[in-house]
């Protein structure tokens, strides 16, 4: 077995044996002083050791105890906060080393918890809810899973066979959630991006959701075709202002699909929501619950008031939430993400459902 060269193996830096003996002696003296009622002296002794980055977190805890016994509660709190920070740094560094090792191995299947650490727009496969999930973008897939499965933002009351329209189905996580939560659900997915639709169909097949209908088209104000900018993940949108490749895609109106009771209508269609709602507003009486992600784009007129008015006239009670505020100080720090300066989640429901 070949011996690693010094450049290949860099052993961790350890304190010298003299330093270790000194620390051991100082700790024994401090413990004796603390037990002997000399808490102030013990605290001072321990404080002289704090400058060593290799100092064990347990020593900081002992120092905090000595400070507390000596009546220096403020100093004790600061010491414990320092101990917590040091421990967090040590644990995070250890976890990062393990995670980087996993990623460096180019695994055929990426562990789910590592998705946020993948580069954007790097495709792969992971395990989600017991199925092999293929994805074009790890961080986006992880974020969507958190909203759909962890926060359950699309959950509706249990029912035997809800009718669900999923506008902006992306890679299929919401549709999979619906099928798992409501086994008799009748789900129709709309996905405009042809490249993303490939992932959608594969994931539905892997989840055994063969009954889900996939409409590979953009929801819009009229039938036909339109220009679509595919971002390659979850932010493709109608028009030529997107960040990805531009192509012509099929466009369909939503109103023909609202010819029966709809238990949930989900619209996460990256800015096309107003065109779609204006077209189908007279048919919204069939919809019992609606989710709309409202997108406001920099330099374009905002129409949140119109969106809320359409839903109010249709008889919905409304709730508005913010899942990811783009800025906390919009007066001085306008937040922007992919050209958007605001995103809101708008939920509409009826009192009788």
Looking at the 3D structure of the chain, how many domains does it have?
Answer: 2
Residue 10 maps to a domain: no
Write out pLDDT tens, residues 56-74.
Answer: 677 778 788 888 888 888 9
Neighbour tally for 299: CB within 10 Å: 7
Spatial CA neighbour of 90 closest among 36, 12, 4, 167: 12
The predicted structure's pLDDT at residue 63? 80
CA dihedral (305, 306, 311, 313) positive or negative: positive
Write out pLDDT tens, residues 103-129.
Answer: 766 667 899 999 998 988 899 999 998
Domain span holding position 281: 116-349
The predicted structure's pLDDT at residue 50? 60
Residue ranges for the chain with pLDDT beneath 70 = 1-23, 49-56, 102, 104-107, 240-244, 352-353
Instruction: Assess whether 92 and 137 both reside in one domain.
Output: no
Instruction: Assess whether 185 and 320 both reside in one domain.
Output: yes
Residue 5 maps to a domain: no
Residue 11 maps to a domain: no
The predicted structure's pLDDT at residue 33? 84
Write out pLDDT tens, residues 254-296.
Answer: 999 999 999 999 999 988 999 999 999 999 999 999 999 999 8
The predicted structure's pLDDT at residue 9? 39
The predicted structure's pLDDT at residue 3? 40
The predicted structure's pLDDT at residue 243? 60
Residue 328 maps to a domain: yes
* CA–CA gap between residue 137 and residue 149 (Å, rounded): 18
Residue 9 maps to a domain: no
CATH number of the domain where residue 324 is located:
3.40.50.150
The predicted structure's pLDDT at residue 326? 80
* CA–CA gap between residue 148 and residue 175 (Å, rounded): 10
The predicted structure's pLDDT at residue 1? 37
Domain boundary among the residues 104, 126, 158 is at: 104
CB-based contacts of 99, cutoff 8 Å, min separation 6: 114, 117
Instruction: Assess whether 79 and 136 both reside in one domain.
Output: no
- Rounded to 10 degrees, the C-alpha dihedral 303/305/308/312 comes to -130
């Amino acid at each position: 077995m070949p011996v690693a060269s010094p450049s290949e193996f860099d052993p961790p830096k350890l304190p010298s044996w003299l330093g270790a003996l000194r620390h051991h002696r100082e700790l024994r003296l401090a413990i004796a002083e603390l037990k002997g009622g000399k808490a102030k002296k013990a605290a001072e002794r321990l404080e002289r050791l704090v400058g060593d980055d290799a100092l064990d977190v347990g020593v900081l805890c002992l120092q905090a105890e000595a400070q507390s016994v000596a009546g220096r509660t403020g100093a004790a709190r600061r010491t414990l906060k320092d101990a917590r920070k040091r421990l967090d740094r040590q644990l995070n560094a250890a976890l990062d080393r393990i995670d980087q090792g996993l990623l460096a191995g180019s695994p055929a299947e990426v562990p789910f918890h590592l998705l946020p650490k993948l580069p954007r727009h790097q495709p792969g496969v992971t395990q989600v809810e017991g199925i092999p999930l293929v994805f074009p973008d790890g961080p986006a897939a992880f974020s969507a899973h958190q909203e759909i499965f962890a926060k359950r933002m699309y959950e509706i009351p249990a029912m035997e066979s809800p009718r669900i329209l999923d506008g902006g189905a992306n890679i299929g996580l919401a549709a999979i959630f619906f099928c798992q939560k409501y086994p008799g659900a009748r789900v129709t997915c709309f996905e405009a991006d042809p490249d993303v639709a490939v992932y959608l169909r594969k994931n539905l097949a892997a989840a055994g959701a063969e009954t889900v209908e996939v409409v590979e088209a953009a929801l819009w104000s009229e039938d036909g075709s339109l220009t679509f900018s595919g971002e390659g993940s979850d932010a493709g949108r109608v028009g030529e202002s997107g960040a990805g490749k531009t192509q012509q895609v099929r466009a369909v109106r939503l109103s023909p699909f609202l010819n029966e009771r709809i238990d949930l209508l989900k619209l996460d269609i990256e800015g096309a929501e107003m065109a779609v709602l204006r077209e189908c507003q007279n048919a919204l009486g069939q919809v019992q619950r609606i989710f709309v992600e409202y997108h406001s784009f920099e330099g374009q007129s905002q129409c949140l008031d119109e969106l809320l008015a359409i839903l109010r006239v249709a008889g919905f009670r409304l709730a508005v939430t913010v899942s990811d505020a783009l800025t906390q100080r919009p007066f001085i720090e306008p937040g922007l993400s992919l050209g958007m300066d605001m995103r809101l989640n708008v939920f509409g429901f009826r009192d009788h459902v």
